Structure 1
């Protein structure tokens, strides 16, 4: 039997889904959030570093989900060259993603959203949503909502059910949390570049306190010769900065990152947000900020749609106005940097190790809008254009 549901169903209780649900509920729209896991925030599939802007966008009070504050980064080239970028004030927060996600969904529930844990979307045909529940997971419950929001991550059932296009590329990641070694600069993250280190992306070391760090990486499976876990083990074993970490292993995390948003993120009664929509920064792999921005945009569109003022395709127009150009240019920048050989990366880092360029990066660097600093670097030193080929071509195309 099918039941009418006079409201919206949000599939997925991560940051993008939680923020969508919160804003829908604030507008007195009946909202059901279903999450297939039995708890929100698990399993963790995130490095846990977010911009200060992300915390502002979350509208959460700064609380114990913040584990550390970062003001700088040290970037290592494949041959060991490095540059250091920093500012006096906090540039990013290291967060406990489980706690952060739970606080976001708690805010949505306090606003009126109904959360159901262990409920899984089985199929959505554009009219009827089939859901399995913990009490009766051999049968499906069928409801007919006004709107469905697919915030159900990389493998989005909602996206696949109605054949919306998939993101352009999926990166594969692995991360290990290690404790016991005194960390030299706990307010700095470290980035490790190189095709032998992490083909198609990069590796990182992110301190959560003075003795605990998250060491991880992402790879492009199409460029890699082995799984992400093997690259990570090799990095920790052989890199002079990391091989000293032979202490207690606390936790392994794994995940995939979708980059390059597809051509269409809506259907007649459907919107996609967050990882399901590929709304992830291609330069860093971060999707919390972008997912929440797009979740809020989705909620505004749904509100107008249910009032008969617009169609859901307005969402695709509005979120692109906010982030589309940046993500598109970011994809070009990603393709450019990830195509460089280790020798080219060594040369690039060496050329960037220049007081004037370091100052430019410090003045214009922005985790959420990296195209700004890339443009300023090229303005400061035009000869670097050979390292930014695809990015420069795309940027000029957009400007023209």
Structure 2
């Protein structure tokens, strides 16, 4: 049987893979996206929380309103559960019905004439002249690994691999409402979340609550999300006895971009390339931007084959210098008592506003919600 030949095969139909494929298709490239899942809404590892900038990306144009919920505030809790409410003019976070969002993205690929092959894992690639051949899938001029932080493309074809992780777990509760639904609740606690945070947020379908902690090689420690939810129940109003309707868990990259993101005509994109903030572990917006940049660079190379190899623009590969420093501090100097005191200072508030809103935010009045929070 004759194999189909493509300009580009993208491995992985996550945010970076979708952005890359759509950028290529806009330039007329023949693209195939493969994913090992039979249903893009299953076995998810992303929280699906979007920063405001992500909604401006072309991949999310026309996103159905029912799939997102605007969250205008962030409430940051110290280990003592004292909190401060943060906001920025016109800024919103957006929680999503994540399984439905991923299925919608997959449907968008098909509508744009991009071949989408679900239930098709990447096993290996064989170089044949000017093409790569993926047994049972087809031949391609270029191959993109957008298959997550444990990229099989990177492992099999000798590219850089993510080597620093957070261990995360998230519970979803259908049909539940928080006492303060218009805030993204973020908890700092060395006991429950060493090296990261816990979070609780209202979604279009209910509530999602997650916890992540530093992951050390060989460690079997897992986040104590049940203890965390009991500890924070009075703050959120989420019943501690309620069992989750769904659970997702996995490793989250936190080391910044990997060093070898391209070898010949194979490139990495998104989580596979380490395009995740070392501090916030936010990878959706970075993945969308990087996937698009990789796609645009390959499209230029396909249209002008004499111009040399693809090199993604430098501004699409953030250095994360400040966030790397903060990651080091989280890993080596996280103590609860100093943070309890620091939360009351203008410096800590400004730092939190920079991390959450990418700009100088402002304090907002405490809403009259009946939430039994301690605040300064």
CA shift, 1:145, in A, is: 1.1
Cα distance in 2 for partners of 1:8, 1:270 equals 10
More helix by share: 1
Relative to structure 1, is the Cα distance of residues 110 and 350 closer, same or farther in structure 2, using a 3 angstrom cutoff? same
Contact 1:217 1:232 (8 Å CA) reproduced: yes
The structure 2 residue matched to 1:219, chosen from 213, 217, 228, is: 213
**SS of equivalent to 1:54:** helix
Alignment partner, residue 332 of structure 2: 339
Contact 2:174 2:207 (8 Å CA) reproduced: yes
Contact 2:187 2:197 (8 Å CA) reproduced: yes
Alignment partner, residue 189 of structure 2: 194
Contact 1:53 1:289 (8 Å CA) reproduced: yes
CA shift, 1:88, in A, is: 5.8
Alignment partner, residue 61 of structure 1: 62
Q: How many residues align?
A: 354
Alignment partner, residue 10 of structure 2: 10
Cα distance in 2 for partners of 1:244, 1:338 equals 31
Contact 1:181 1:247 (8 Å CA) reproduced: no
The structure 2 residue matched to 1:288, chosen from 273, 278, 284, is: 284
Alignment partner, residue 80 of structure 1: 81
**SS of equivalent to 2:323:** helix
- 5 Å-filtered alignment, 1:265-276, equals 265-276=261-272
- What is the root-mean-square deviation of aligned Cα atoms in Å? 2.8
CA shift, 1:50, in A, is: 0.7
* 1:329 matched to 2:319: no
CA shift, 1:90, in A, is: 4.5
- 5 Å-filtered alignment, 1:350-369, equals 350-354=341-345, 358=349, 362=353, 364=354, 366-367=356-357, 369=358
CA shift, 1:49, in A, is: 1.2
Contact 2:293 2:316 (8 Å CA) reproduced: no
Relative to structure 1, is the Cα distance of residues 366 and 216 closer, same or farther in structure 2, using a 3 angstrom cutoff? closer
1:40-88 deviation line (CA, Å, top 9, x unaligned) = 2322222221111101113422414534211111112222332221246
- 5 Å-filtered alignment, 1:25-40, equals 25-40=25-40
**SS of equivalent to 1:347:** helix
Q: TM-score, normalised by structure 2?
A: 0.84
Alignment partner, residue 71 of structure 1: 72
- 5 Å-filtered alignment, 1:7-156, equals 7-57=7-57, 58-87=59-88, 89-127=90-128, 131=134, 140-141=135-136, 143-156=138-151
Cα distance in 2 for partners of 1:359, 1:294 equals 28
1:350-383 deviation line (CA, Å, top 9, x unaligned) = 3342468646755x5545x5xx669xxxxxxxxx
The structure 2 residue matched to 1:235, chosen from 221, 228, 251, is: 228
Name stretches of at least 5 consecutive residues in structure 2 with no aligned partner: 362-376
Relative to structure 1, is the Cα distance of residues 120 and 226 closer, same or farther in structure 2, using a 3 angstrom cutoff? closer
Relative to structure 1, is the Cα distance of residues 206 and 312 closer, same or farther in structure 2, using a 3 angstrom cutoff? farther
**Higher relative contact order (Cα pairs below 8 Å, separated by 6+ residues):** 2
CA shift, 1:232, in A, is: 0.9
Contact 1:9 1:33 (8 Å CA) reproduced: yes
Cα distance in 2 for partners of 1:105, 1:66 equals 14
Q: TM-score, normalised by structure 1?
A: 0.80
Contact 1:217 1:228 (8 Å CA) reproduced: no
Relative to structure 1, is the Cα distance of residues 85 and 112 closer, same or farther in structure 2, using a 3 angstrom cutoff? same
Contact 2:177 2:207 (8 Å CA) reproduced: no
Contact 2:13 2:106 (8 Å CA) reproduced: yes
Contact 1:181 1:245 (8 Å CA) reproduced: no
Relative to structure 1, is the Cα distance of residues 350 and 96 closer, same or farther in structure 2, using a 3 angstrom cutoff? same
* 1:308 matched to 2:301: no
Alignment partner, residue 170 of structure 1: 165
